[in-house]
Amino acid sequence: MARKAKTQNETPGDKPAVNTGIDMLDELEAVEEFEIPEIDLDFSLSSDLKEMAQKMGRIEAENLVKLFYRLQDQRIRAGGQAFALGKADQPGRVVGWVEHHMHELERRVGKLIDYYSQEKEVAQWARAQKGIGPIFASALMAMVDPVRTETAGDLWAYAGLVPGQRRKRGEKLNWNPHLKVLAWKIGKSFVKVSGREDAFYGKVYKDRKAYEMAKNERGEYAEIAAKYLTGRDYGKDTGARKTLESGKLPPFLIQARSERYAAKLFLAHFIEVYRNIEGLPVVAPWAIAHGGHAHYIAPPGWVKREVTKAA
């Protein structure tokens, strides 16, 4: 069954870039309507490849995940180009052929990533959460060192999710940009599953959005709104600027805050489970602000084990 073009099912909403060399007023609509085969991992590779994938080290696995996303991006671009050419009555069979074979290679790389994580206990816990598939689970395993990452705060900082972390020209990044993008994709994925009763983090997202909207309506984000006005260039006649001038945050910022909250909670749970599996202590429980109260939220589906190693 075909579907509208987007990245792997864990990252809904991404639009492929179109660069056909022809002037098309409706190229964005063309991209949105373009259909490609569903990315699925329900097939097998050779037993030798499976064994090699399962024995990969963290660095090799991280590079394979990066390769997967590069392939995915280029495949979507090729597919968008082929579709846009067709809309313009231009030949696009060769580009379409390239897109087809890139799609097949993407599936095979994805399967290798699936093999890497399917036998790992922390990945099994992560993959049991609605919205988290083998690519996300493998990427987190590859990028996060449970020994060096002692707390949720450490992981948030490494993912560039601490307030104030921004790119500055001439300065070296103090976070992992790939992990930051991954956290953004995870937040988007939780939105997609938020209508399911069994989606723990989807429900977290929905509850948080209701909380954020209520605070916004009460004018409690006036100070933050003022900072956005001074720190970014919003057009005078834009809806976003008018909303900020009224002392409130525009809907897209409320949405981003809600998605980020759900993603950060999942990352906090991930490092807690990961360290617990490795016999390492979580330095201290952390408070998660939710519904106006601070309280600890335990990882879903996880029974904490006795720690066997010293901090």
What is the tens place of the pLDDT at every residue in 249-306? Answer: 999 999 999 999 999 999 999 999 999 999 998 875 444 444 444 578 899 999 988 8
pLDDT at 156 (0 to 100): 94
| pLDDT, average across residues 185-195 | 96
The pTM assigned to this predicted structure is 0.77
Helix (H) or strand (E) holding 295: strand 293-295
Beta bridge partners of 37: 2
Nearest C-alpha neighbor of 298 from the set 310, 311, 286: 286
Measured CA to CA, the distance from residue 139 to residue 142 in angstroms comes to 5
pLDDT at 10 (0 to 100): 41
Q: Mapping DSSP to helix (H, G, I), strand (E, B) and coil, where does residue 230 land? A: helix
Q: How far, CA to CA in Å, does 30 sit from each of 60, 78, 219?
A: 37, 13, 40
Helix (H) or strand (E) holding 290: strand 288-290
Measured CA to CA, the distance from residue 10 to residue 6 in angstroms comes to 10
Q: Which of 54-63, 181-190, 257-266 has the lowest mean pLDDT?
A: 54-63
- Answer whether 139's CB lies under 8 Å from 65's CB: yes
